[in-house]
Each structure stands twice: as structure tokens, then as C-alpha cells.
Amino acid sequence: MDMQMTAWTALYRTMHAQQDQRGLTRAALRRVVVFARPHRARIVRFLLVSVLLSALAVATPVLAGWVVDAIVRRESSGVVVGLAAIIAGAALVEAGFGLVNRYLSASIGEGLILDLRTRVFDHVQRMPVAFFTRTRTGALVSRLNNDVIGAQRAFSDTLSGVVGNLVTLTLTLVVMIGISWQVTLLALVLLPVFVIPARRMGSRLASLQREAAEHNAKMSTQMTERFSAPGATLVKLFGRPADESAEFGARAGRVRDIGVRTAMVQSVFVTALTLVSALALALVYGLGGYLAIVGSLEPGAVVSLALLLTRLYSPLTALAGARVEVMSALVSFERVFEVLDLPPLITDAPDARPVPEGPVSVEFDRVSFAYPAADKVSLASLEEVATLDTRGGVEVLHEVSFRAEPGQLVALVGSSGAGKSTIAQLAPRLYDADSGAVRLSGVDVRELTADSIRGALGMVTQDGHLFHETIRANLLLARPTAAEDDLWDSLRRARLADLVHSLPDGLDTVVGERGYRLSGGERQRLTIARLLLARPRVVILDEATAHLDSTSEAAVQEALGEALAGRTAIVIAHRLSTIREADLILVVEAGRVVERGTHETLLAAGGRYAELYRTQFAEDEVEPAA
């Protein structure tokens, strides 16, 4: 490695190391060791090969000096050719072990990435819904990408770099002092001129890079939000494209200015250090040449010292910033552990059992509930705020009690924000009640396995969320083993088969982000088809037709008829037709059940339900003509 490459390497490592100097606990370091334990055999081989490569890097300059000495002494050609053959052999061995070292480094690094990513992904999937409503998706994705890769560097780059550089530095110093302590001392005197600018300039460039990264992150967020279908529509509706372009252009212009400034600072730095290294090399040749002329040093030794100079400066420069690199890599581990240490609120009990076979009843027994506070379900760094919101823990449900017998339909009605959706989320155990109990077939949901609850209950929400995948993939989410006939049967019962048949790619049609290539009614019917494919024993409908026009609603209502047939159902009512069919109607206000009964009895009572009926449902009184 020549001096210019050494300068670039020193600058790059210092610039790209995170300037986070937090101390790490022994517990955190022990956890790092635990993660590395499955790869310990490869790590040991990796370190041994790194040591061997360092030794070969020092041996080559010494052999080159011997060649020069052999030529000066006019020894036989066999000696020169033999030394040259040894140098060639060393180069071949170094190349071979370099490939082995790269393979071991890649396998260790990629193995750690796999372990960390799968661990974090699995853990995040077990977090409550409140976690996802508070967390910025980009910040969470960054943990699985940037921080996981940063943690990988602790082993694939930093560990081998520290070990290799220590070995190289030790061997180089020993060899150089053995050849000439005077020249070695001169080289060390010039070292601060090489290292100090690298540290200072690296920090300056790191600051510029962080600013550019912040602007790039803001541009990325702006693009992600504005390029989505709802975001683009919002910008167009309010006539803001020019303002958005100006804002984006200002940030992009700042990134350009930073890029130009960074390039110039880098060039000035590397040019200066290259000049310093050239002067150092000149001093080595000058002093070494003088010593050779007066007979104190062999000519070949001068060549060896010159070649060893980069072997001295490169590891010294790297080790000068090793602490920052090590801390940077370990801080990435700590940021990953921060997510893993956030406990999921919903976990299976050790002796959890499946939902009993057969028809399922749903019972709420004096259930009270408060949404968890932010510190229970989130991290400030994932919300990208300085401190977490301290609000939360306010009770929103108060001793709610009711029972839906197998096959019955229970409707929930009430004002917006009364707690209807919260009740619907407790049944599938998206949250746990704070007091009281939610029971399926007489068994507390906290005593049942999560998988069996998900298999027994099916839920359709008003947004009808779909993934940016094919119709087939969105359906198979409910039952991955479903046959082709099952898919078409669920579509037929959801009144969607004709539409899918008419599409050029049929079941393999991509529905777009959140299903936006389909109309609102089509999206909702596809979610109902998915529910039908799952064959749940309990159906929960959270205002499944709230945002549909009358035509789409009629089609969805037909599909819902299929979904509800013969199943226990809890329906947050939006239309009168659903309410009239209910076996039990619950009127929910301010988190309490204030009235209960059938449609006729509640109307006759003239209470809150009768008021809601007059203001919200009377428009449905006139049935459309057949």
C-alpha cells in the first residue's frame, strides 16, 4: 500500500466512524460475545489468517532488500533467482490466504447480519399495535439495515483490522529497529504530522457527512410520503407541487454544496499527507543512503526500510482511530439491543393451550382497559423525538360486560371515540385487558396460544389493507396451503370472482401499494375473501363499509352475508341493515355499555339508541328498489 492509499484509508475510516463515545457496559459486551458464539470457530480461523497475512506483508520488503544486497555483492544469479522465487511464492501464498480471509470475513459478517436481522424482525412482529402507531417506519427499517451492518463491521472489519494492524506494527517495528534504529526513529518523529491531520480532518468531514445524511434522510422521507398514492393526491389537491419542488431543490442544493466542499477538503488532505509521506521517504533514503555510503548499512536495507515505511504508517494511522471504529461498531450493537430489549406486551403463557374445538362464544367480563404509555411500547429514537410522550395510561373502557353465544351476532353502536374499536381489538388479543377477562369458549384469552386465537378469529377493518403483491399472495396470507379452487371459491363468495377473471393476469395481478389499484369496494371485498379463506369461527367487523359508496356497499354487504353465516360475530355497526339482524345491540358511550337489547326493544326504550337511530341510521330506513 503506497502512502497516498494509506492517506485515503486513514481519512475514510476516521470520517465514517460514528462520533458516539457512549460507554458500553460489560453486559452489552457479553451479549455481543453471545451473538458471536455460533461463529467462534470461523472467527479464530479468521484471526489466524489475518496474523499470517500481516507477517507476509512484512516479509516481502525484507526479501526485496536481500535481493538488492545480492545484486550489489554480485552473488550468483541462482541466489537472486531463488530470492525472487521466494518473493513470488510469498505473493501467491498471500493472494491465496487473502481469498480465504475474505471468505471467512464475508461468512462471519453475513452470518451475523442474518442472525441479527431475523432476531430483530421476529421480535418486532411480536410488538403490540401501539408500537407501530408510534414508531417511524424508516427509523425502524434503519435498525435492520444500517445498524445491523454497523454491528457486522465489529467482526468483519474492525476486529481483523485491529489484530492485523497490531501484528503488522509490532513486526515492522522489530524489523526496522533491527535494520536501523536511527532511520526508524526518524520515521516515528514524522508520524504525528501524518496522524494528527487525519484525526482532525476526519472529524470535520464526518460532520459534513452527517449533515448531508440528514438532508438525504429528509429528502427520502419527503419522496416516500409524496410519492405514495395518498400523498401525491394531497399535494395535487392543495396545489403545492411548486412549493414541494422548491423545498426538495433547496435540500438537494445543500447536499451538492456539501459534496463539493467535501471533495475539496479530501483532496487538500490527501495531497498534504502525500507530500508529507514523500518527505518522509526522502529522509529515509537520505539518512539510509548516507549510512550505506559510510558502511553502516547495507544498500538492500535502505530499500527494505523504504518499503517498510508504509507498513509502519498505515497500521499506526489505523490504530490511532481504532477506538472510534470499535465504539462505532459496538454502538450499532447497542442500538440493535435497544430494540430487542423492548419487551412485547402480548406473550403466550408457559402453559397456554389452543382455543377449544367447535363453535366459539365470546365473553367480556367486567373488562377495563387503558392504552399503554409510550415508554411501555416505544423508544424515543424510533419516534425520532427527544423525549417520549408522557401521556397514556388513561382508562378508555370501564367494566364492559357482554356475551356473544356461538352463532350470535352482537352489534356495537355509539359515538365516534366511544371505545367500540378498542373492544374489537381486545377479542383477538391485539391488547390485553387491564382488569376483568376476555374469554373465548369460556377460556381467558391470556391462557390461549396466540396462533390458535388468530386461527379462530377473523377481522375486517374499515381500511381494507392489502400488501403490494398479487391477489393470490394477499389471499394466501390467510391460509398458505389453500388450493386454487379454494381461492376462487372465496372470491366467488365475496362477489369478486368475475372481476378477477376479467383481469389479464387473474390471480397474479399485483394490487399495488395498499391495494390502490383496486377501488374501495373491491379492496374491501378482497379482504372479505381473505377472511372467508381463513374459515374463522368468530368474525369481527370494524365498520367494514364505513367509507364506501352505496353501490360498493351493496356488493360488500352481500359478501359480508357470506362471511357472517353460521359464525359468532361482533360487528361495529355502520348501517341499519346490520343492526336489525343483530341478536344483541350494545350502545357504547365513553367506554361504558349504557344500553343493551334488540333493535325493537331499544327503540321502544327511547334512550341513546333511539337518538342514534334518528340521527345516524334513519336514512337507511328506505330500502332501495329491487
pLDDT digits (tens, 9 = 90+) for 43-64: 888 888 888 888 888 888 888 8
pLDDT of residue 70: 86
Compute the average pLDDT of residues 352-373.
Answer: 90
CATH class of 362-467+520-525+537-620: alpha beta
Fold of the domain spanning 3-340:
ABC transporter transmembrane region fold (1.20.1560)
Q: Where are the domains of the chain?
A: 3-340, 362-467+520-525+537-620
User: Rounded to whole angstroms, how far apart are CA atoms 412 and 257?
Assistant: 59
Q: How much is the average pLDDT of 87-109?
A: 87
Mean pLDDT throughout 129-149?
A: 77
Tell me if the pTM is above 0.85. no
pLDDT tops 90 at residue 290: no
- The mean pLDDT value for 329-353 works out to 82
Is residue 397 within 8 Å of 422, Cβ to Cβ?
Answer: yes
Rounded mean pLDDT, 172-185: 85
Q: What is the pLDDT of residue 622?
A: 45
What are 7-45's pLDDT values in tens digits? 555 555 555 544 444 445 667 677 777 878 888 888 888
The DSSP code sequence of 70-117 is HHHTT--HHHHHHHHHHHHHHHHHHHHHHHHHHHHHHHHHHHHHHHHH
Are the folds of 3-340 and 362-467+520-525+537-620 the same? no
Beta bridge partners of 588: 414, 593
Beta bridge partners of 448: 353
| Residue 39, CB-side half-sphere exposure with 13 Å CA sphere | 23
Model pLDDT for residues 376-401, shown as the tens digit of each residue: 777 777 776 656 666 667 889 999 99
Q: Which residues contact 528 (CB under 8 A, 6 or more apart)?
A: 460, 494, 544, 556, 559, 560, 562, 563
Mean of the per-residue pLDDT values of the chain? 79
Q: Which pLDDT does position 594 carry in this prediction?
A: 93
Please tell me the distance from the alpha carbon of residue 418 to that of residue 402, in angstroms, as a whole number. 16
Query: Would you state the pLDDT for residue 596?
Result: 92
User: pLDDT tens, 107-127?
Assistant: 887 888 888 888 888 888 888
CA 185/CA 312 separation, integer angstroms: 12
Q: Which residue has the higher pLDDT, 77 or 90?
A: 90
545 close to 524: Cβ distance less than 8 angstroms: yes
What's the mean pLDDT in 343-361?
88
Place of cell 475539496: 264
Residue 625 has pLDDT above 70, yes or no: no
Place of cell 484525526: 199
pLDDT in tens, 468-494: 889 899 899 888 888 999 899 888 888
**pLDDT at position 524 over 90:** no
| Residue 48 parent element (H or E) | helix 40-72
